[in-house]
Structure 1
Amino acid sequence: MRRRQTAWLAAVGAVVLLSWQAQLAHAAENPTDSARPDSGRHCVVGLHAAQLGAATEPQATEPACFDTFAEAIDFATGGRVRLPKDATQVSERQLLAAGAISTARAPVARPLVGIEYQHTNFGGASLTLYGASGTGCYAGTWYGFPDLASLDFDNRISSGRTYSNCIGKHHDGTNYTGTYTYCETSCSTLGSMNDRTSSIKFF
């Protein structure tokens, strides 16, 4: 009798062990959202300049996406700014020193106009936007991206920074419509507009 109980317990233990191993293998192949790194993708888009009041709308380049924020900044600045691999932010001082953002006295080509972040306090995935033409938001020049869904960034922005004399106007509708909020220089949160931005205008 005791031998049968021992054999039965051993069989049950083997089944439980096999089931547990299968679950671990499945989890490794199909990680849940909570198990995935929260860094996400880091994408870069170039925006062509337009003049306020003009009939033409700004156009954008094809997005380029990277595994790290450092790679995205390297690409967005044309190699002018190199960051450590684990960097999640870049300072305005670094950008100025590298000639990656425009000032009234020193306009530059390919200036950064904004960096948008998935989470508050500049965390998570990022979207870096630079001027593919123009030298920043001077003399009535503006840049825009009318539909963030095409970048998989619709309703995902909760903080951001702006550069090159630009103010970021975050709209909850596409094509710069609906409720909006402004971000000037640095916004660790967009408040009631967190995770609601569908289009952005820099002016």
Structure 2
Amino acid sequence: MYAISLGDDGAELRPLEPWQAGELLAHVDRGREFIGQYNGLPDIITDLGSSRAFLRTYAEKAAADTGRICGIWTGGTLVGAVCLRTMDVEQGTAEAGCWLEPSAAGKGLVTRAVRALIDWAVQERGIHRVEWWVCAENEPSKAVARRLGMTRDGVLRESFLYRGKRHDEEIWSVLAPQWREAERAS
């Protein structure tokens, strides 16, 4: 399998596949409360079977060219993931997402990993618009969008019901021309 280096700290981005369901479950268990602040993943992945089913869904998306998931590893341990939750090559749109366990937060891993994923989507798959949907209260995730040069397109007021409470969602995006220009400038 291939790995993409995420920098001098040894962090890597690699495909996350169904055979790694045990590793994903252990990762979610380590960060269940932290991840669950804004992400429903801990409510979905509760045991080995649900972890395998989740990864199988992404394997099917990869086979259909409608999504991808990659894990973030540091020191050989899975500490987070980035994904293209949706990807419509014909329309040229995708929605990126992410999560980390607490031990990996604040190190720039998500920014570096999402940058690699967006670059692949734009350069290899011809995606024109990559969206980033985020709970309006999730400041770290909005900071990632800013660091990636995304534009805040708007707010969907009380559009997301999560654990019994309605939340505003912000939609951020980057377009392929501005992505390519920023990459050339860096």
Shorter-chain TM band: 0.3 to 0.5
RCO higher in 1 or 2 (8 Å CA, sep ≥ 6)? 1
TM-score (norm 1): 0.31
Hey, which of these two has a bigger chunk of helix by percent? 2
TM-score between both structures, scaled by the size of structure 2: 0.32
